[in-house]
A and B are shown apart, each in its own frame.
Chain A
Amino acid sequence: MSSPKQMPPEYYQQLEEIQMVDFAIVELNLYLDTHPDDYEAIKQFNSLTYESRKLKKNFEKQFGPLMHFGRSYSQYPWQWDDQPWPWQV
């Protein structure tokens, strides 16, 4: 039995891009907790959130769900338990 399908390079590129955007979102989120009236930061936060959702939507169309319990769609057959799991990526 040969090893399961290898993920294409785009898989890793898109994942890294999602990580980049999500890290900046976490930073801004924590910053905004203590600076609620920083308008520039909120604008940046919203634009990054929009970007993040777009990237994830595009990623999930190609490679299956990133999240479960209704936070991502799945194609047929059920993809949630497909490899690679997060620690196998």
Chain B
Amino acid sequence: MSNTYTKYYYPYISPFDPCKPIIRKSYPTPPQMYLGFQPPNLPQFEIKEALYRGTLWPALYSKYDKKDYRGEYDE
């Protein structure tokens, strides 16, 4: 399973659906889902960097960026 930050799926679009169809939907898949039990002595960010990255370990860093996170698009 490739560990990506976001995964997508394509919901069924009914011909009777009155609203604009959402072609693709997405859900976040942060690294901790693929890590299992965290091994000791993982490399760490600089302390200042860690504050802005939201985690002490690069292996667990996840962007969660808004732009790609929802990933929905219509036609």
Chain B interface residue bracket vs A: 10 to 19
CB distance from A23 to the nearest CB of B (A): 5
Among B37, B40, B50, max chain A CB count under 10 A is at B40
B51 pairs with A41, CB closer than 8 A: no
A23 pairs with B50, CB closer than 8 A: yes
**Proximity bits, B43-70, A CB within 8 Å = 1, else 0:** 0000110110001100000000000000
Which residues of B are found within 8 Å of A38, using beta-carbon distances?
Answer: 40-41
A62 at the interface (CB under 8 A from B): no
B2 at the interface (CB under 8 A from A): no
From known contacts A24-B56, A27-B56, A28-B56, infer whether A19 and B40 are also in contact, taking CB-CB under 8 Å. Answer: no
Interface residues of B, Cβ cutoff 8 Å to A: 37-38, 40-41, 47-48, 50-51, 55-56
| Cβ-defined partner of B50 (8 Å) among A20, A34, A40, A41 | A20
In the complex, residue of chain B having the shortest beta-carbon distance to the beta carbon of A28? B56
A35 pairs with B40, CB closer than 8 A: yes
B47 pairs with A35, CB closer than 8 A: no
B51 pairs with A19, CB closer than 8 A: yes
Chain A interface residue bracket vs B: 10 to 19
Give the docked Cα–Cα distance between A31 and B44 (Å). Answer: 13
**Closest A-B pairs by Cβ, 3 of them:** A27-B56, A20-B51, A38-B40
Which residues of B are found within 8 Å of A19, using beta-carbon distances?
Answer: 51
A27 pairs with B40, CB closer than 8 A: no
Q: What are 21 sample pairs from A and B whose C-beta atoms fall under 8 A apart?
A: A16-B51, A19-B51, A20-B48, A20-B50, A20-B51, A23-B47, A23-B50, A24-B47, A24-B50, A24-B56, A27-B50, A27-B55, A27-B56, A31-B38, A31-B56, A35-B40, A38-B40, A40-B40, A40-B41, A41-B40, A48-B47
